[in-house]
Amino acid sequence: MKKKVSDSMEAVYPGSFDPITYGHIDIIERSAEIFEKIIVLVTYNVRKNYSFSFKERTEMAIDSLKDFKNVEVVSHDGLLVDFLKQNSIKVVIRGLRVISDFEHELQMAHANKALYNNMETFFLMTDNEYSYISSSMVKEIVQFGGDVASWVPEEVAVKLKELYKSN
């Protein structure tokens, strides 16, 4: 019989969270009802151009998720599969919004599986309400003076305003 994917039913939700939005938080809330514990992994990729620093992205996630009992925020600079192996976690959560997400996510899921065959990627479909929300769109709207109160937590909206005020 094939080995089961997880004993502890912990799962990792990795992402840039640049910044965290209600779309991310919805995926976290729903997966926290399925898994015993969710580790929100704030990642760093040297090829990516982030708007917020690694520290700021992590702090915003910690602040926005402080009310969830079984959610922990961790930052990680390295390969996702290394984090999984080091922490004996075999489940990765990702969110899907549109077809273009699927192409990228499929490639990533296959690459991760090739690097670590014991892991599995679980996909959650975005809630209708959040399907059009992305970190980049939120930043664009704030840049042009728009209101994103219904897209990101208040403390994130404040950080966004500060970011574009100083630029």
Non-local CB neighbours of 23 within 8 Å, separated by 6+ positions: 95, 97, 126, 127, 130, 131, 133, 134, 151
Nearer CB in complex with ligand ADP: 45/86: 45
CB of 99 to ligand ADP, least distance (A): 12
Q: How far apart are CA 127 and CA 30, in angstroms?
A: 10
Nearer CB in complex with ligand ADP: 11/27: 27
47's tokens: 């090829």
Q: How far apart are CA 66 and CA 28, in angstroms?
A: 12
CB of 108 to ligand ADP, least distance (A): 8
Q: Which residues are catalytic?
A: 24, 48, 97, 135
User: Which spans in 33-98 are helix H?
Assistant: 54-64, 80-86
Nearer CB in complex with ligand ADP: 140/165: 140
Which residue is at the shortest CB distance from ligand ADP? 23
CB of 2 to ligand ADP, least distance (A): 26
Distance of CA 102 to the CA centre of its chain: 15
Nearer CB in complex with ligand ADP: 43/90: 43
Tell me the one-letter amino acid at 124. Answer: L
Q: What residues line the site for ligand ADP (CB under 6 A)?
A: 15-17, 23-24, 27, 94-95, 97, 101, 126, 130, 133-135
**Cβ(35)–Cβ(9) under 8 Å?**
yes
CB of 94 to ligand ADP, least distance (A): 4
